Amino acid sequence: MPLPGSEATFIAVLAPFAAAALAPVLTRAMGHNAAWPLALVPAAVFLFFAGLAPEVAEGARFTPSISWIPSYGVNLSFLIDGLSTLFALLISGIGTFIILYAGGYLKGHPHQGRFFSFLFLFMGAMLGLVLGNDLMTLFVFWELTSITSFLLIGFDHLRTASRRAALQALVVTGGGGLSLLAGFLLIMSLTGETSMAGVLASGDMLRESPFYALVLVLVLGGAFTKSAQFPFHFWLPNAMEAPTPVSAFLHSATMVKAGVYLLMRMHPVLGDTALWTTILPLFGGVTLLVGTLLAVRQTDLKLMLAYTTVASLGLLVMLTGTSWERAIEGAALYLLAHSLFKGALFMVAGTIDHEAGTRDVTKLGGLRGAMPVTFTAACLAALSMCGLPPFIGFIAKEYMYAGTWYAMEGAGTAALLVTATAVLGNALMLVIAAAVAIKPFMGPKVETPKHAHEGPLLLFAGPVALSLTGLAAALLAHATGEMFIAPVVTSILGERSDVVLHLIPTYIGAPLILSLVTIALGVVLYLSLDRLRGAMAGVLAAIGWGPDRGFDQMIAGIVTLSTRLTRAVQGGRLDVYMTMTFLFAALAILVPLVSTGNWPSAISWPSFRFYEWGVLLIAASGLYAVLVARTRLTAIVSLGIQGFAVALIFMLFGAPDLSFTQFMVETLSVVILALVMTRLNLQPRDHRPMVPRLIHGTIAAAVGFGFAALLIRITQLPFDRSLSDFFEAYSRTIAHGRNIVNVILVDFRGFDTFGEISVVMLTGLCVLALIRVRPKADRAAAFDRAAGDEAHEKREEARV
């Protein structure tokens, strides 16, 4: 349906890009306090989409659109429904506090304005991605998130680790983007639709297509790389080289959830098939377990949280891949809960590092007295991550367990495996949440590199607000489900869904029991955290190799292969380059002509008049003179005969200006070539053996014959006068010229002519430089003379 005042949607989406241009100016004027006015931009975007939420909850769907690239049918169009609205609220809402946090975290940094600019570009790209309706628009924003994340991850570009992490993220997600582009093009071809709304309305067209498997693999290639699914998970923890505001934004509401968003968005047309319900739960479950186990191994707070983000993304993919309605509800709830508690915990980790000077959990302790506000925010966020009441994380866990357990009647073993994987993964995430919230703050005080104290308002405003939002979302569970979760589930399933949330379980059943099992298992594992960490370190040491090292090996292999290929293809010999160029030119011309099926009857050789035979005879005599020439200089002079023959053809067919140009160009070419040849140290004759001469002669004859046949074939086609009529009609009225050829060169194709003149000028300069270069013997003689003169002057001075 049309959106009243749809211009506001475009303003909301494009506002972060305007803020990106304004950020450096404001930062120079206000310093780190520029974060306050800059944060008003994402706050206004949040309020705009919050105003649309009631209508979206009632089932409204808006598709504002304007023409962007009409020649290719690409529109700048957006799809506003339950799924995109929730993502837009998370991006803009969390983005507001990220901007404030960045103001305090990078206070005094010489490039803080640039950092703000990159953050806003990233925010705008992510908003365009989740709201994009036109598939090409969505893809443009998809790739823009990869580019802007590259800038953010590599912000500290003087550090090798930052540059490597940025390049790794760009290569992995960029490669996945190419896969997604191929998938989108195939979807557009199969459905005839260019918009996401049109594709979603196509029903089972893609599922019933013989190309369904290919479409699914291509789309999964984009989604899995973006959302760091195993084995592409390695780039995400390495991205922790970025400043903490980037990590908090990246892991909570933006780029890493883009793949999950895409899978949820495409579920109505790609989901609920045997392939879908096999591939997604399998890879998602493996990612969940791998992420949590690797998180246990870490001692860096950010890395611990980063690996749990990998695990959480795996959990979301696994739940989405089941296509079970209650599991989808659990995924939607966990999406909201994870964004809130993970954004808060990352900012807590950054604040600890900023104020205490270290993120190593083994070197922290007793900070609760020095940082009481940060400690409170960490506890609230960690309780939600543990899945304990009264937080939104608890409700999310209850719904995901209900969705997997009660599916056993129809799914059997698959539902049991998914449930067991979810329980183990959630228990391990409870371990990490407890470690992040308890280890740095509880116990005896540990001396830290910096004197620990509470951070400023800019640093703790975000963690406090996000953790309290997780609490409020659970306390207002009914409103949360009705306003936000139900529309999301409706978008994912493609049909109306009513979600009724309860903070307090209405009955004691399997979901509650599984939650208790998760908590008990998590507590046991937390008490054995040090032994578990040592065991994982031993396992990883025994394995040795991993995808991260494999990435380096792949890059090194590509460099080695490209170097060897370059040396093989470009060996430095000009004669080989020219031979290969003309060989492929002959093949490119002759193969299509011969493969038409009616060769050689397709070529009707023209009948020449007597004077045309005379011009051909002149050209043939020139060719003969070139072939029998005794010296290279004679061959060059004889080569000009062909050019003069072409000039005669122009004159005979009524083009005296072209004929004159041809005469001049040919004459100058012969003179310049002859002049250059006299300055080059070449043998006077060509002493190639007979076999190379035959090969080169055959290729030359093939090229000449191919061009002749191609031109004859073109002249036999019906002449299209549309372009000629255009120039005849408008050369006088628009360009005010009677000579159509001159008008074309000077006006209609003026830039082409300017470029050609520039090329000729550069060529002339190169020829001039070549002429002025002295042979080595002359340079040596000049050097000797200069040295002798200098020695003579010294002797004269000594004598005097």
**Residues forming beta bridges with residue 78, ordered by sequence position:** 132
**Whole-number pLDDT of residue 682:** 64
Contacts of 748 (CB under 8 A, 6+ apart): 727, 735
Query: For residue 594, what are its two tokens?
Result: 């011969």
**Whole-number pLDDT of residue 94:** 96
Q: How far is CA 480 from CA 52, 54, 525, in A?
A: 15, 12, 33
Query: For residue 56, what are its two tokens?
Result: 């979206």
| Alpha-carbon gap, residue 197 to 259, rounded angstroms | 18
| Alpha-carbon gap, residue 319 to 404, rounded angstroms | 8
Q: What's the pTM?
A: 0.81
**Whole-number pLDDT of residue 776:** 52
| Alpha-carbon gap, residue 480 to 335, rounded angstroms | 13
Cβ proximity of 219 and 207 under 8 Å: no
Hey, what amino acid is at 653? F
Hey, what amino acid is at 207? R
| Alpha-carbon gap, residue 292 to 311, rounded angstroms | 6
Q: What is the mean pLDDT of the chain?
A: 88
Query: For residue 641, what are its two tokens?
Result: 């005969």
The HSE-up count of residue 580 (CA atoms within 13 Å, CB side) is 9
Confidence of residue 786 (pLDDT cuts 50, 70, 90): very low
**Whole-number pLDDT of residue 691:** 87
**Whole-number pLDDT of residue 773:** 62
Q: How far is CA 144 from CA 118, 230, 258, 572, 692, in A?
A: 11, 23, 12, 39, 52
Helix axes 325-356, 244-252, angle to 10 degrees: 170
**Whole-number pLDDT of residue 3:** 54
| Alpha-carbon gap, residue 795 to 800, rounded angstroms | 9
- Residues 223-230 have a mean pLDDT of 95
- Residues 606-621 have a mean pLDDT of 82
Least confident of 85-94, 382-391, 712-721, 763-772: 763-772
**Whole-number pLDDT of residue 750:** 80
- 540-570 b/e (C-beta count within 10 Å ≥ 16 → b): eeeeeeeeeeebeeeeeeeeeeeeeeeeeee
**Whole-number pLDDT of residue 597:** 59
Confidence of residue 668 (pLDDT cuts 50, 70, 90): confident
**Phi then psi for 734, rounded to 5 degrees?**
-95, -50
Model confidence over 184-220: pLDDT tens digits? Answer: 999 999 999 999 999 999 989 999 999 999 999 999 9
Model confidence over 168-181: pLDDT tens digits? Answer: 999 999 999 999 99
pLDDT score of 654 more than 70: yes
- The residue whose two tokens read 């809960």 is 337
| Alpha-carbon gap, residue 84 to 129, rounded angstroms | 9
| Alpha-carbon gap, residue 639 to 665, rounded angstroms | 13
Confidence of residue 627 (pLDDT cuts 50, 70, 90): confident
Model confidence over 4-24: pLDDT tens digits? Answer: 556 888 999 999 999 999 999
**Phi then psi for 81, rounded to 5 degrees?**
-140, -165
DSSP string, 519-533: HHHHHHHHHTHHHHH
**Whole-number pLDDT of residue 783:** 45
Model confidence over 349-396: pLDDT tens digits? Answer: 999 999 999 999 999 999 999 999 999 999 999 999 999 999 999 999
Q: Which of 409-418, 526-535, 702-711 has the highest mean pLDDT?
A: 526-535
**Whole-number pLDDT of residue 800:** 45
Percentage above 90 pLDDT, the chain: 61
Model confidence over 274-327: pLDDT tens digits? Answer: 999 999 999 999 999 999 999 999 999 999 999 999 999 999 999 999 999 999
Counted residue by residue, the chain has a size of 800
pLDDT score of 799 more than 70: no
Contacts of 316 (CB under 8 A, 6+ apart): 227, 257, 260, 284, 331, 334, 335, 338
Q: How far is CA 713 from CA 154, 603, 677, 708, in A?
A: 56, 6, 38, 9
Cβ proximity of 584 and 576 under 8 Å: no
Cβ proximity of 269 and 200 under 8 Å: yes
Query: For residue 207, what are its two tokens?
Result: 């599922």
Percentage above 70 pLDDT, the chain: 94
Cβ proximity of 420 and 285 under 8 Å: no
| Alpha-carbon gap, residue 282 to 231, rounded angstroms | 12
| Alpha-carbon gap, residue 228 to 232, rounded angstroms | 5
**Whole-number pLDDT of residue 145:** 95
Confidence of residue 782 (pLDDT cuts 50, 70, 90): very low
Report residue 300 CA to chain centroid gap: 29
